[in-house]
A and B are shown apart, each in its own frame.
Chain A
Amino acid sequence: MPTPPARHPTAPDPWRLRQHLLACLVLNTAIALGITVVENDSFFVNWVYSQCIGTAIWGAIDLLRDRFAPDEHPDRRQLLWLVPAGVVLGYSVGVTLANALLGHSNWLYWTQDWRRSLGFLLMSLGIGAAFAYDATQRAQRALAEAQAQAALRQSTQAQLQLLQSQLEPHMLFNTLANLRALIGLDPQRAQSMLDHLVAYLRATLDASRATEHTLAQEFERLRDYLELMQVRMGARLHYQLSLPPELAGLSVPPLLLQSLVENALQHGLEPQLQGGSVHISAAREGHLLHLRVDDDGAGPSTDLNAPESTAQRFGVSQVRQRLATRYGPQGTLIFVAPPQGGTSARVQIPLETPSA
C-alpha cells in the first residue's frame, strides 16, 4: 500500500535555518573574542573575519551537501570529503569577503606567519566537522523516527483493513437482525447463535493481533461463521468441514481461509436462487499442506488468478499478501474453475516441523 514518502529531513525549514544561522553567528562571535584575548589585537577586525569565514563555511558545507548529497539518508562517511571541501571553500570565500570589507589583506599572513594561519584553518575544520556531524546525527535520528512512525502507521492500517473486511457492517447487522428474530421464535437456538457470534467476533478481533493459531482453531472459527450464515440463509446453505485429526495441531495464520469462504458464499452461492454448498478441507502431501475451499456456486466471473486489480475487491490480494509475508514464494493461492461448475480456491503452504 502506498504511503506518503517520509518528509525530507534536510528539506529547508525556515525556522531551523534561522536557528542554525543564529548559532553560527554566536559561535563566530565567541571565536573572535577568544582570538582577541589570545592575540591581543582588534576585536572588531577579528569579529569581521570570524563572521565572514564562519558563515561562509556554514554556507559552503550546506551548499555542497544539497548539491552533491541531497540524499534522504544522510551518511556520516560523506562528511569525510564534505567538511574539508566546505571548510577550504568557505575559508577562501570568507577571507576574500572580509578583506574586501576591511580594505586590507590578510593573505600576507600565510607567508608571514603560516603556522598561525594553518592553526586558524584547522580550528575551522574542527568546528565545521563537529557541527556537520551533529546535524547529520540529528537528521538520521529524525529519519529513523519518521520511518518507525510510517511502519507503525502501515501495520495499523493493515490491521484495520483486515478487521474491516471481516466485520463487514452488512453481515453484522443482518446477523443481529436474525438473532433478534430468533430470540422470540426459538430462545435456545438464539443462544447458540449468540455463542457463535461471540466466538466469531472474538476471533476476528484477535486475528489482527495474533500471528498464528492451530488448524483446528481455524476450522472452528470457520464453523462459527458458517453457522451464523446458515441461520441467515436457511436451506440455501450447506457446508462441510473436513480436517484430518493428524493435521489439527499444525499452525496457520489466523483466519487465513475466512475471506475465501466469504467469497464462496458471496460470489458463489449468493447469486444462485437455490444457494449451494461449501466444502472446506485440509490435506497433507509430503512437505506441503493443502487447504481448499470448494463451492458449487455461480463460478468466477473474473479471472481471480490475475494480478492485483481484478482480484483486489475479493480480498484475494490480501490472502496472497499474507501468504507471501509468512511463507515467501512457497505459500500460494490459486483458483480453479472445475468442469462441473463452482469455484475451487486452493492454498498451499510448506509444512514446518512442530518445534519450528
Chain B
Amino acid sequence: MTSALIAEDEPLLAAALQAELARQWPELHIAAVVGDGASAVSQALALRPQVLFFDIRMPALGGLEAAAELADQWDHTAQPFPQLVFVTAYDQYAVAAFEAQAVDYVLKPVRPERLQKTIQKLQLPLAPAASGATNLEATMAQLRSLLTPANAVAPIPQVLQASVGNAIHMVPLSEVVYFEAADKYVRMLTDSREYLLRTPLKELQAQLDPQEFWQIHRGTLVRATCIERATRDESGKWRVHLRDRNETLSVSRLWAHRFKPL
C-alpha cells in the first residue's frame, strides 16, 4: 500500500488536504501529518513513505530545505527516494520550474481537479525499481535549482563589513575562504581570522558569484580555488580539504554532483 506524509504548519490546511486525499485516493495511507520541516525529515526517515506533501513555508526549516536535508540522509539503497509534491500559496519560484519534472507542486487553495492531476501523476511511476536512482538524481537537480537564490542584480561587493566589538572591519571578498551558517550568524573565514556576520547566508549567497563560491552544503559556501581535494569515505560521504588549512568541510549529497572526475 502506498503511504504518504503531509508537512503543513497550518492545521486547517493539513486537515483539508488529508480529507481531499482521502476522498480522491482512498487507498493512500497517511502515515503522519507534521507541522514543521524538522519533524518532516525525522518522520519521513522513520516511516519511509512513498509520497511527501511538503508546504514550502514552514517554521524553522522550510519545505525545500527539508527535502534537501532528507535527500542527504535518505538511504536510497533500501528504498527509492519518495515522490515529492510541494504545496504553496504563492511563491517567488517560477511555476515553470516545477512543470513536467520529478517534483510536482500544488497551489493553495488546493482545487480538487488540480489535486487529481497530481494523484494521477503519482500513481503512474510507482513501479519504482527502474526509476529509483534516476528519480533521486532528477529530484536533487530540481531541488538545487529551487534552492539557489536568483542572483541579485546588485553588483558583487568588493568588501564585506563585519562588526568586531565596537569596530566595523572591512574584509575584502577576495580574502574570504568560506562562509558557514551558524545559528543566527554566518561565520566568515579568511586566512588570518574569523568574523561573524549577521546577514543570513541566503542573502549573502545572492550577492556572490556561484562559480567563485561553491555551495557544498545547506550552510556552507566555499571559494572553489581554495579547495585542495575532495575525498569520499566508506559510507559515500564527501569531504572537502582546503589548501593550507586543517579543517575539512562536509559535502551534502545534494551538492556532491560537483565532485566528478573529468
Contacts and interface: CB of A to CB of B under 8 A. Distances in A.
A63 interface: no
Given A233-B10, A302-B198, A170 B109 contact: no
Interface stretch (A267-275, A314-322, A342-350): A267-275
A170 B13 contact: no
Interface stretch (A5-13, A117-125, A177-185, A213-221): A177-185
Contacts of A176: 108-109
A236 B36 CA distance: 12
B89 A173 contact: yes
Interface of B: 9-13, 15-16, 19, 35-36, 38, 57, 59-60, 89-91, 107-110, 184, 198-200
Contacts of B109: 173, 176-177, 179-181
B59 A170 contact: no
27 contacts: A169-B89, A169-B90, A170-B57, A170-B89, A172-B90, A173-B89, A173-B107, A173-B108, A176-B108, A177-B10, A177-B16, A177-B109, A177-B110, A178-B12, A180-B16, A181-B16, A181-B109, A184-B19, A185-B15, A233-B9, A234-B11, A236-B9, A270-B59, A273-B38, A301-B184, A302-B198, A310-B198
B18 to A, nearest CB: 10
A273 B60 contact: yes
Nearest to B56: A170
Nearest to A275: B59
- Band of interface residues on A: 20 to 34
Contact of B10 (A184, A234, A302): A234
A53 to B, nearest CB: 55
Given A180-B109, A273-B60, A173 B90 contact: yes
B224 to A, nearest CB: 29
Given A272-B59, A273-B59, A302-B198, A174 B12 contact: no
B65 to A, nearest CB: 13
A232 interface: yes
A71 to B, nearest CB: 34
A306 to B, nearest CB: 10
A178 B10 contact: yes
Contacts of B36: 273
B118 to A, nearest CB: 16
Contact of A232 (B12, B91, B200): B12
Interface of A: 169-170, 172-174, 176-182, 184-185, 231-234, 236, 270-273, 301-303, 310
Contacts of A169: 89-90
Contacts of B184: 301
B212 to A, nearest CB: 23
Given A233-B10, A302-B198, A177 B89 contact: yes
Main secondary structure of the interface of A (DSSP, over half): helix
A324 B250 CA distance: 49
A236 B35 CA distance: 11
Given A170-B91, A302-B198, A181 B59 contact: no
Q: Lowest 7 A-B CB distances belong to which pairs?
A: A181-B16, A173-B89, A177-B109, A177-B108, A169-B90, A180-B109, A174-B89
Contact of A177 (B9, B13, B60): B13
User: Which of A173, A180, A273 is packed against the most chain B CB atoms within 10 Å?
Assistant: A273
Contacts of B11: 234
Interface centre among B10, B12, B15, B109 (most CB of A within 10 A): B12
A340 B57 CA distance: 28
A49 to B, nearest CB: 60
A289 to B, nearest CB: 32
Given A273-B60, A301-B198, A302-B198, A184 B91 contact: no
A234 B15 CA distance: 12
Given A170-B91, A173-B109, A273-B36, A232 B10 contact: yes
Nearest to A182: B12
Contacts of A170: 57, 89-91
A184 to B, nearest CB: 7
Nearest to B163: A303
B12 A231 contact: yes
A181 B18 CA distance: 11
A181 B13 contact: yes
B2 to A, nearest CB: 24
B60 A174 contact: no
B15 A273 contact: no
Contacts of A310: 198
Contact of A184 (B16, B60, B107, B199): B16
A233 to B, nearest CB: 7
B261 to A, nearest CB: 41
A271 B59 contact: yes
Contacts of A234: 10-12
A231 B10 CA distance: 8
Contacts of B198: 301-303, 310
A341 to B, nearest CB: 13
